[in-house]
Amino acid sequence: MPSRKFADGEVVMGRWPGSVLYYEVQVTSYDDVAHLYTVKYKDGTELALKESDIRSQSSFKHRKSQSSSSSPSRRSSSRSRSRSRSPGRPAKGRRRSASQSREHKEDKKKTIPESSIALPVFVLFKPSENNTKRYNGEPESTEKNATSCIILEQKLKPDVEIKRVLEQYSLRSRKDDKKKEEIYSEKKTFVAVKPIEKVSTKTKEMEFGGRIGTFMLILLLPATVFYLLLMCKQDDPSLLNLPPLPALESLWDWRVFGVIFLWFFLQAAFYLLPIGKVVEGLPLSSGRKLQYRINGFYAFILTAAAIGVLLYFEFELHYLYDHLMQFAVSAAAFSLALSIYLYVRSLKAPEEELAPGGNSGYFIYDFFTGHELNPRIGSFDLKYFCELRPGLIGWVVINLAMLLAEMKIHNLSVPSLSMILVNSFQLLYVVDALWNEEAVLTTMDITHDGFGFMLAFGDLVWVPFVYSLQAFYLVGHPTTITWPVAAAITVLNCIGYYIFRSANSQKNNFRRNPADPKLANLKFIPTATGKGLLVTGWWGFVRHPNYLGDIIMALAWSLPCGFNHILPYFYVIYFICLLVHREARDEHHCKQKYGLAWERYCQRVPYRIFPYIY
């Protein structure tokens, strides 16, 4: 009969079910029959754990979280101390010191509410490869995610869902029922501490088909753009009706490259304007929060004014239509140069600033997925800038150029109804993204993916030149639609937009402030990381309602082009593939982050994107 390893009253480290997080717990009893230890957390929660989920304290190096001290001043000093411990980086030093001192002041202003219960969270650190395996045998990327520093105010409610989850995880609340009610109605502040040891962020699980897959994508993505643009110029753009390849020298024009260059730097100048609020992003794995200026919408207005001035002076915007292929080639060259710069500079970036998914050690893979998470020049965040400005605003400008080209080529006094619909729907999408710019800070692109070829090419080439394909198609292939059809397509777009916007806002607001009174009617599953998973509202309908809305809109953008060719439907077909793949990636990350809580969520919300289908 196996003897028990831990004695009653002993303070040990207990693993939270389904995660790699360990908390300080006290052994209260041992069940000889079930071989389970009953352990008590600092907030009084009791849990039955197997011996394999318990470690001695000596297995961990830990720093006491501020919860062990209720003194706010001690808390803030400990935070700033650990920040200053990170390796000095001359280029970023200036940025950090300015923002840090601001954060530091804000920290000092914060106080822990009397009723706060803060659990000290201990994370597995990785002194060596061997130790990691000994602890849990889980992939290193899991540990990386688990070390994220989360500061979250979570108002828990005694609702059925939470009780169910507690039962599922064999959590037992405090013995005293009265006290139990208090726990779930009081405001809790969970504060996760930073790992005291630098965690290796090496990527073990490669996505996109690994090295071969990413190599192929580096060749295939530009080839696809050129194929689509060539096809669109054909009178009969059937899939098998391959166009003759243009002469190489006809693809390059320095004047066009100059325009691309100017465009990028004009948008960069708008980004740097000191207008619009400055907000903090989500905490990085180091616990630091980067600051971002929200002025994308202003940049759009300024660009619209600049285009208006050009048109007033009779600048021929359909120049863009005439040289679209050359613009795409120049933008691709620019994005390639940017990707090389990003990769070279990432080699000097400290480990903690590398992207969780782009640090495999293989050049091609890291070059494609992006090695550095948030490359910045001073306060200029390159990834955040490229995500929404040059490409997205460029897309609208290309669409407008197509509209003008259609009017000119077909001698129209007003654009066709199809062209108006395509332009309006896509304008709404871009304006929405810029108006809600802050929401991009919680997306996978910002929080997980590094900045490399994938995003540089995607943002600067794929989005403006592939997403404008319907408008480009309509110039060469006029399509007439009736008003009732136009109305039906408009309704479809509105439905898609409504789902997309409300789902994204719901999640974004919940992540930013779970205690938001507007979200009071929503239920969520608590997770060991402190973040909750919404199980009612849009996120209780399907697991990615925002993707569903986006796909519905994509269909509405293609329908005005009629059914003569599949080319204008390329976007919706590609987009479904992209979002299905993206959804699978996200699920994988969420499973690693939330463990059993994610499984519970999946049981509760069985469909991923399309209700009753997928």
Q: Tell me which residues touch ligand NDP (CB under 6 A).
A: 442-445, 500, 504, 507, 510-511, 531, 533-534, 539, 544, 546-547, 550, 582, 586, 589-590, 601
- Neighbour count for residue 94 (Cβ, 10 Å): 12
Whichever of 159 and 322 has its CB closer to ligand NDP, that residue is: 159
Task: Considering only CA atoms, give the Rg of the chain.
Answer: 27
Q: Which is nearer to ligand NDP, 14 or 458 (CB)?
A: 458
Query: Which residue's CB atom is positioned nearest to ligand NDP?
Result: 443
Which residues, other chains included, contact 150 with Cβ-Cβ below 8 Å and sequence gap of 6+?
190, 192, 283, 529, 530, 531
Q: Cβ distance 332 to 457 under 8 Å? A: yes
**357 with 450: CB under 8 angstroms?**
yes
CB of 232: closest distance to ligand NDP in angstroms?
Answer: 19
The angle formed by the CA atoms of residues 294, 299 and 302, to the nearest 5 degrees, is 145
Phi and psi at residue 366, to the nearest 5°: -70, -35
CB of 439 to ligand NDP, least distance (A): 8
Nearer to ligand NDP, 27 or 290 (CB): 290
Stretch (H or E) spanning 154: strand 151-155
Q: Please name the residues in contact with 477: beta carbons below 8 A apart, sequence gap of 6 or more.
A: 237, 561, 564, 565
The residue among 231 and 590 lying less far from ligand NDP, judged by its C-beta, is 590
The kind and range of the H/E element at 597 are: helix 596-604
Kindly tell me which of 267 and 527 has the beta carbon lying closer to ligand NDP. Answer: 527
Q: Which is nearer to ligand NDP, 53 or 586 (CB)?
A: 586
Shortest Cβ 467–ligand NDP spacing (Å):
7
* Minimum CB distance to ligand NDP, residue 520 (Å): 16
Give dist(CA 554, CA 579) in Å, integer.
Answer: 12
Give least dist CB 479 to ligand NDP, A: 23
Please report how close the Cβ of residue 155 comes to ligand NDP at its closest, in angstroms: 15
The position carrying tokens 């996120």 is 539
Provide the token pair at 594. 């939330």
Q: Do 542 and 607 contact (CB within 8 A), yes or no?
A: yes
Of 165, 170, 166, nearest to 600 by C-alpha is 165
**The pairing of beta strand 171-172 with beta strand 278-280:** unpaired
Measured from the CB atom, is 49 or 534 closer to ligand NDP? Answer: 534
Q: How many angstroms separate the CA atoms of 538 and 532, rounded?
A: 15
Compute the least distance from the CB of residue 540 to ligand NDP, in Å: 8
Q: In this complex, which beta carbon is closest to ligand NDP, that of residue 187 or of residue 604?
A: 604
Residues 6 or more apart whose CB falls under 8 angstroms from that of 568 comprise 469, 470, 473, 474, 558, 561
Closer to ligand NDP by CB, 148 or 359: give it: 148
Burial 142-156 (b: 16+ CB within 10 A, else e): bbbbbbbbbebebbb
Q: Quick one: 37 or 569, whose CB is closer to ligand NDP?
A: 569
Q: Is 293 helix (H, G, I), strand (E, B) or coil?
A: strand
Least distance from ligand NDP to the Cβ atom of residue 309, Å: 29
411: exposed, middle or buried (C-beta count within 10 Å: 0-12, 13-18, 19+)? Answer: exposed
Least Cβ distance, residue 503 to ligand NDP (angstroms): 7
Instruction: Closer to ligand NDP by CB, 347 or 577: give it.
Output: 577
Cβ at position 454, least distance to ligand NDP in Å: 11
Q: How far apart are CA 554 and CA 557, in angstroms?
A: 5
Q: How far is the CB of 497 from ligand NDP (least distance, A)?
A: 11
